Amino acid sequence: MEEKIFDWSLEYIEKAPEEPGVYLFKNNKKQYIYIGKAVNIKNRLKNHYQQAKTDPKERKIFSESSVIEWIITKSDYEAFVLENELIKQYKPKYNVRLKSGSSYPMLVITDEDYPTVKISRKYGEIKGTYFGPFLPAKTARAMKELIHKLFKLRTCDPLPKRSIVCFDYHLGLCSGPCADKITKKEYLEDANVAKSFLSGNVKNVIYQLYDKINHYTQKLMFEKAAVVRNQIKAIETVIKKQEILGIPVEEADVFFFSGRKVYLIVIRGSTIIGKEELRISNEEFEEGNEIFILTSYYNNNYIPERIILSKEIEDLENFKQWLLKSKGKDVIIDFKLLPQVENFIKRNITFTDLDSLKYQFEKTFGFKLPNRIECFDISHLQGSFTVGSCVVWENGFMNKKEYRRFRVKTVSQIDDYASLKEVLTRRFKRYLEMENPPELVLIDGGKGQLSVGIEVRDKLKLNLRVFSIAKKEEILYTDDGKEIKLFENQELLKLFTKLRDEAHRFAITYNRKLREKEALKSVLDNIEGIGEKRKEILYRTYKTLDNIIKASDEELKKLGIPTNVAQRIKSYLK
């Protein structure tokens, strides 16, 4: 009976060409549901039709589509390129791809008479030398600030010509080339050392810096000598990190595929500079989708000299050719992880033995380990800014895109039970609408918190198990009266404490964010020229008073803050 639902497609499949190209599933609103490519379009569509009998994802593609179109290409490689471009442009519902915004920030030392450092998320958009990417993304801003602090590269853009230096010169973030406080030769030397610092290739320049210290000391220029000394300390830290890792590859991106997760590890200057779990949009990652992750990533990010993959992939030759066209030269692709990288993965990426966990869970509780568990926590500061958090564990992994946070609305004093009751009621009502609600809920707390959870569950008549976990003793209380000492079972201890600690972290982070926002706005209320709109802009952009002080007048001007108001802000905050 279900097969007849897909009979509309047989007419299209029969007409499909037996040639290479791209095929497109669309719905009756002409929206793209799925895009694929094939050496033989007809055979590939037949394969889709057969898979729809057993594969839930294929059934969804056919049930939500009403039309199949195709574009014939001259070769399989042309089909590969066209498929990539169409997926990038139309973002079909069932194609695996990285989330928009998955281009990671790089730092650029600009190619100018007086270079500065900028942040860019698109390789090549700014003329200069690129470094990175920086993982996680927030480290790019921190590194940019460090570059200004250590090497005093200008913060104004474009470079003005003036006789009086700006605030950043007095804050030690700029060497003042606009007011001739530094010679061009000295400035370019600092820019070159900054490049060496960012690339990790610092051993050759450190001797030059020691010579520079001696030169400044002999001329009694002690302030300049102190600046160079700080540079040397930062560079020596980089050298120590390199020698600890000792990776025999100058530049590489490592993609580690583990179950439904994909991790990126970045090697630059023979050292690991970061790792990140790549955020996948639409469908969860599946076997055979590796090529879509790679092309989606390199559509926006820098292509290194070498790419190391933890497993072999389909369409390898097409991928190599695509990289060659994009980069302008061959890229080495390896399938063997370096020993240093393997050790890094073991230390920094946590894996769950699901089979062992499932056995221990069922043995202890008498029912199967749920596919989805949600955990709740409450956080407040002496009854103010009371918030709740909900974190989600699915099939061995924390699913951060499903996390939820709650601002408690009905409780105005310290009452954890009432606050928890509100949060659970709001969340449990959503379970009534969800296709796959959790089968187990964990609450951070003791028997009192457990009672609240059971009360809300029973009131809404949900088929749901409720547990709570007490801190320090690490005792798990269940809704059927059991008390489990988790220290006696390491598998369960890791599962439940991981959930509890993550819910606690998420709740505290939200509570702190609300407090910081309120504190920042309270301070800004005292500054003339700052209304509600400007307060919101400053908070969203900088988060803290310290970051506002560091922001240049030009930067604030771009946000719509006039120069006189910007100077008033800095004067008040200092």
Q: Where are the domains of the chain?
A: 2-95, 106-245, 251-348, 354-513, 525-573
Instruction: Identify whether the C-beta of residue 483 lies closer than 8 Å to the C-beta of residue 446.
Output: no
* Residue reference for tokens 């008479």: 113
What is the pTM assigned to this prediction? 0.61
CATH classification code of 354-513: 3.30.420.340
The backbone region for 498, taken as left when phi is positive above 0, alpha when psi lies in -120 to 50, beta otherwise, is alpha
Query: What pLDDT, on the 0 to 100 scale, is given for residue 1?
Result: 43
Query: What pLDDT, on the 0 to 100 scale, is given for residue 286?
Result: 65
The answer regarding whether domain 525-573 maps to CATH 3.90.220 reads: no
- In the three-class reduction of DSSP (H, G, I as helix; E, B as strand; rest coil), residue 504 is classed as helix
Give the containing element (helix H, strand E) for 295.
helix 290-298
* Residue reference for tokens 């200069």: 128
The answer regarding whether domain 251-348 maps to CATH 3.30.420.340 reads: yes
The C-alpha atoms of residue 213 and residue 221 are separated, in whole angstroms, by: 9
Query: What pLDDT, on the 0 to 100 scale, is given for residue 187?
Result: 93
How large is the angle between the packed helices 490-524 and 354-365, nearest 10 degrees? 100
Protein fold of 2-95: GIY-YIG endonuclease (3.40.1440)
Picking from 224, 254, 228, the residue whose alpha carbon sits closest to that of residue 335 is 254
**Structural tokens at position 570:** 């800095």
Tell whether omega for the bond before 133 is within 30 degrees of 0, i.e. cis: yes
Query: What pLDDT, on the 0 to 100 scale, is given for residue 210?
Result: 72
Other Cβ atoms within 10 Å of 304 Cβ, number: 21
Alpha helices in 152-279 (DSSP H): 167-170, 184-199, 203-218, 222-245
Query: What pLDDT, on the 0 to 100 scale, is given for residue 203?
Result: 61
Picking from 397, 442, 402, 447, the residue whose alpha carbon sits closest to that of residue 424 is 442
- pLDDT digit string (tens) for the chain, length 574 residues: 445 667 899 999 999 999 999 999 999 999 999 999 999 999 999 999 998 888 878 888 999 999 999 999 999 999 999 998 898 888 888 887 776 556 788 899 999 999 999 999 888 889 999 988 887 777 788 788 878 877 889 988 888 887 788 777 877 778 889 988 889 998 998 898 888 878 766 666 666 667 777 777 877 777 777 877 877 776 666 555 544 456 888 899 999 988 777 899 988 878 887 888 887 765 555 667 788 889 888 987 889 999 999 999 888 999 999 999 988 889 999 999 988 888 888 877 777 678 888 999 999 999 999 999 999 999 887 667 899 999 999 888 888 889 999 998 888 788 889 999 999 999 999 999 988 899 999 999 999 999 999 999 999 999 999 999 998 789 999 999 999 999 888 889 989 999 999 999 999 988 888 777 676 666 777 787 788 788 777 767 776 666 777 788 778 887 788 888 888 877 776 6
Task: Please state whether beta strands 128-131 and 106-110 pair in parallel, antiparallel, or not at all (unpaired).
Answer: antiparallel
Asked if the domains at 354-513 and 525-573 fall in one CATH topology, the answer is no
**Structural tokens at position 465:** 């198990």
Strands (E), 100-214: 106-110, 117-120, 128-131
